[in-house]
Amino acid sequence: MKTTRRRFLQTAATAAGAAATQELAHGQEQDPDHEHQAAPSDMTLRVKALESLLVEKGFVDPQALDAVVDTYENRLGPHIGARVIARAWSDPAFKQRLLADTDAAIEEMGFGGQQGQRMVAVENTPQVHNVIVCTLCSCYPWSVLGLPPMWYKSTAYRSRTVIDPRGVLQELGLELPERVEVRVWDSTADLRYIVLPERPPGTENLSEEELAALVSRDAMIGVAKAQPSREGGQA
Amino acid sequence: MFAEPWQAQAFALAVKLSEQGHFTWKEWAAALADELKAAADRGEPDDGSHYYEHWLAALERLVTEKGLTDPAALLKRKEAWAEAYRHTPHGKPVELSAALS
């Protein structure tokens, strides 16, 4: 969703929206005193206060903020992680490098690098299923998955995944046989994980690009499996 | 991703201030974790939709601790923005000078 962007400190569009709402509230009233704008939400005012003060003091450049938002809204996302996973499935030597030094392997593909974080890929096998969480806040492999889904940031997911991973996975639609060991990886500010899902059966003849289309965000979090077709797993 | 523009802006502020060395990402994560824990301790479980409210609270606290600004200045500026909205005619961009003039 591209709701955001644009000069946050000059909000003509927001103002017009507020104006429309207010006109509805005031019916057809033409009193000039009512032609001014309703203040936006408390959150909006607080962010505007913070940003305008920091910009004034030269601590931050508004264009640099725009660039950050553009990066996260338009450039980073699970399509990047999916390409990394598809490469690992297609190229055994790359897979070994990915598991041995995840950052270097991702950089090799021209991706990666945020907040000096270290990234570690954990491999699913028929015996082991991995799932990632951040129990303290919402640390997440941004550079390859973009920003996390809302449920990843929920109190329930953060608190319950470590205690009852099977139960959480079940609720998210992933049933695992008893014999499969579930490993939970708790991300931190400087160490983030990505799951290398199992390659689905029957995909031997697919190209790397076709394979990438099978890798969902949820599969790389570890709450789903990579699907043998495009269907499923993108909830 | 971002439900409202202010969330994107709060997000970008934290990322950029950290990149520029005003605080480390570790300090940021700790501040955010504190806010999330405080909310949970108050008995406010979150389905994730209030996440950026905690993010903003953490950011306000951290920039204050780092001396980049202070709570009184933030409050005063927030009131100035509210005032600017009230003094800006419909359809015109809201600028701070509307409140200051």
Pairwise CB contact (< 8 Å): B25 & A46? no
Q: Residues A52, A137, A154, A159: which is the catalytic one?
A: A137
- For residues A109 and A84, the answer to whether their CB atoms sit within 8 Å is yes
User: What pLDDT does residue A112 have?
Assistant: 80
**Is residue A229 included in any domain, yes or no?**
no
Query: Are B3 and B37 in a shared domain?
Result: yes
Pairwise CB contact (< 8 Å): A51 & B13? yes
- The residue with greater pLDDT, A184 or A118, is A184
What is the mean pLDDT of the segment spanning A133-150?
A: 93
- The residue with greater pLDDT, A14 or B63, is B63
User: What pLDDT does residue A162 have?
Assistant: 96
Give the closest of A16, A117, A189 to B91, CB-based: A16
User: What pLDDT does residue A229 have?
Assistant: 76
Give the domain CATH number at A107: 3.90.330.10
At residue B61 the predicted structure's pLDDT band, cuts being 50, 70 and 90, is very high
Give the closest of A37, A46, A60 to B16, CB-based: A60
Supply the mean pLDDT for chain A. 85
Query: Are A83 and A70 in a shared domain?
Result: no
A52 counts as catalytic = no
Distance, in angstroms, between A101 CA and closest chain B CA? 22
Task: Supply the ipTM of this predicted assembly.
Answer: 0.92
Q: Tell me: pLDDT of A31 over 50.
A: no
Number of domains forming the structure of chain B = 2
User: What pLDDT does residue A228 have?
Assistant: 86
**Is residue A174 included in any domain, yes or no?**
yes
What is the mean pLDDT of the segment spanning A134-141?
A: 92
Distance separating alpha carbons of residues A183 and A68, to the nearest angstrom: 33
Query: Are B30 and B64 in a shared domain?
Result: yes
Q: Tell me: pLDDT of A134 over 60.
A: yes
User: What pLDDT does residue A150 have?
Assistant: 93
| Residue A79 to residues A149, B15, B18, B39, Cα–Cα distance (Å) | 14, 22, 26, 33
What is the mean pLDDT of the segment spanning B25-42?
A: 93
- For residues A181 and A129, the answer to whether their CB atoms sit within 8 Å is yes
Residue A4 tokens, joined = 């955001």
A216 counts as catalytic = no
Query: Are B48 and B86 in a shared domain?
Result: no
Q: Residues A139, A143, A187, A216: which is the catalytic one?
A: A139
Query: Are A47 and A88 in a shared domain?
Result: no
At residue B95 the predicted structure's pLDDT band, cuts being 50, 70 and 90, is confident
- Of A56, A75, A94, which residue sits at a domain end? A75
Structural domain span for residue B78:
71-101
Q: Residues A134, A143, A187, A216: which is the catalytic one?
A: A134
Burial class, A79, CB count within 10 angstroms (exposed 0-12 / middle 13-18 / buried 19+): middle
Structural domain span for residue A119:
78-221
Q: pLDDT over 90 for what percent of chain A?
A: 74
User: Which chain B positions have a beta carbon within 8 Å of A12's beta carbon?
Assistant: 91-94
A207 counts as catalytic = no
**Is residue A216 included in any domain, yes or no?**
yes
**Is residue A136 included in any domain, yes or no?**
yes
Pairwise CB contact (< 8 Å): B95 & A72? no
User: What pLDDT does residue A96 have?
Assistant: 98
Query: Are A70 and A82 in a shared domain?
Result: no
User: What pLDDT does residue A115 have?
Assistant: 56
Of A92, A116, A112, give the one whose Cα is nearest residue A104: A112
Number of domains forming the structure of chain A = 2
Comparing alpha-carbon positions, the chain B residue that sits nearest to A50 is B74
Q: Tell me: pLDDT of A25 over 50.
A: no
Query: Are B6 and B18 in a shared domain?
Result: yes
Query: Are A42 and A110 in a shared domain?
Result: no
Give the closest of A35, A54, A68 to B15, CB-based: A68
Query: Are A84 and A191 in a shared domain?
Result: yes
Query: Are A110 and A207 in a shared domain?
Result: yes
Query: Are B11 and B38 in a shared domain?
Result: yes
Query: Are A94 and A208 in a shared domain?
Result: yes
